[in-house]
Amino acid sequence: MDLSQLQLFKDIYQTRSISRGASHNGVTQSAASQTVQELEKHLGTQLLDRSRRPLEVLPAGRLFYEFARESLRRHQDFLVHLEELKGGLGGCVKVAAIYSVGISEMSRLEEEFYRRLPTAQLEVSYLRPEKVYQAVLDERVDLGLVSYPETTRDVIALPWREEPMVVVCAPEHPLAQRGHVQPEDLENIDFIGFDEDLPISRDIERFLREQGVRVRVVMQFDNIQSMKEALRLGHAVSILPVPMLREEVADGRLQTVSLDCPLVRPLGIIHRRKKNFLRAAQVFLDLLRDPAA
């Protein structure tokens, strides 16, 4: 019985689904199913009732969940104590993120990380998506933060969060007065897009196409900072992740207009396939995946 099994079962319990638990752990539904069966065989009792559709947790499953939760917590504690004990220059985590994850978000994570491991070192670099993948592959970083993560032969992708996307424009723009718009309101509008080779660009294009809307792409950038500046000129709109806009919206430099049909982009954590993490990386990963604990 190992920690990954406990983590997996914990996620399955919390999401009430084998498939979701599986994807939270970067494994297939099949593997998760087999793991649960192994656990049940080993413990000699059913943990879940899989013959009901919203997966039902049996008493033994609940007990095992408590055990798993507790064990994982103890393990975390142990890692932290170990780090304390090692004193100066604890482990070092290197993280690569796409630009659009945002400095403000990262600085919050950074803060919490140093609270947990005061002696460790966290290095964050911002790169274009393909560079993030490359950095992970080359082991120049331990973890990568990307959008539309995909598991490949050498890299495991874990879902992280889903950012809502909204239409954004300058306060002077005609759309700015409206609280929300239908996709068709964007027909033929001047649009500031992402570079076409970025996943987010493809996803927005696909979204617009599905809605039967065509926009006039007047500019393209590979980073959100530039797009925001261009938007302030007032002639065009764009679609951007909400968290990137907090500051500008707060002081009125830009305005968001929510879309009636929701568009989100999934962010994920990627790392190389390998059994063992350095504990600092492990702690950062746990921090990302469970900010509460």
Contacts to a second copy by CB under 8 A? 1-3, 38, 41-45, 59-60, 63-64, 67, 70-71, 74-75, 78, 81-82, 85-86, 91, 276-280
Specify whether the backbone of 258 is left (phi greater than 0), alpha (psi in -120 to 50) or beta. Answer: beta
Which of a second copy, DNA, none binds 82 (CB below 5-8 Å, type-dependent)? a second copy
Which of a second copy, DNA, none binds 86 (CB below 5-8 Å, type-dependent)? a second copy
* Alpha-carbon gap, residue 191 to 193, rounded angstroms: 6
Query: Comparing C-alpha atoms, which of 88, 119, 148 is closest to residue 283?
Result: 119
**Minimal distance, residue 71 CB to a second copy, in Å:** 6
Residues in Cβ contact with 35 at an 8 Å cutoff, skipping those fewer than 6 apart: 5, 8, 9
Q: Which residues bind DNA (CB under 7 A)?
A: 4, 17-20, 26-31, 33-38, 50-53, 55, 151, 273-275
Query: Comparing C-alpha atoms, which of 217, 182, 177, 225 is closest to residue 196?
Result: 217
Closest CB to DNA among 3 and 92? 3
Is the alpha carbon torsion for 33, 34, 37, 39 positive or negative?
Answer: negative
- Residue 58 is classified by DSSP as P
**Minimal distance, residue 277 CB to a second copy, in Å:** 8
**Minimal distance, residue 273 CB to a second copy, in Å:** 15
Which of a second copy, DNA, none binds 34 (CB below 5-8 Å, type-dependent)? DNA
**Minimal distance, residue 44 CB to a second copy, in Å:** 5
Which of a second copy, DNA, none binds 91 (CB below 5-8 Å, type-dependent)? a second copy
Query: Comparing C-alpha atoms, which of 82, 4, 88, 1 is closest to residue 38?
Result: 1
Closest CB to DNA among 18 and 288? 18
Closest CB to DNA among 158 and 208? 158
**Minimal distance, residue 5 CB to a second copy, in Å:** 8
Which two structure tokens, joined as six digits, stand for 7?
A: 């983590």
| DSSP secondary structure string for all residues of 62-73 | HHHHHHHHHHHH
Residue pair 191/215 in contact by the 8 Å Cβ criterion: yes
Length of the chain: 293
Closest CB to a second copy among 66 and 172? 66
Closest CB to a second copy among 3 and 293? 3
Residue pair 112/287 in contact by the 8 Å Cβ criterion: yes
Which of a second copy, DNA, none binds 64 (CB below 5-8 Å, type-dependent)? a second copy
CA angle 223, 224, 228 (to 5 degrees): 130
**Minimal distance, residue 286 CB to a second copy, in Å:** 14
Residue 149 half-sphere exposure, CB side, CA atoms within 13 Å? Answer: 27
Which of a second copy, DNA, none binds 52 (CB below 5-8 Å, type-dependent)? DNA
144, containing H or E segment: strand 143-147
Residue pair 247/231 in contact by the 8 Å Cβ criterion: no
Which of a second copy, DNA, none binds 18 (CB below 5-8 Å, type-dependent)? DNA
**Minimal distance, residue 293 CB to a second copy, in Å:** 17
Closest CB to a second copy among 77 and 172? 77
Which of a second copy, DNA, none binds 268 (CB below 5-8 Å, type-dependent)? none
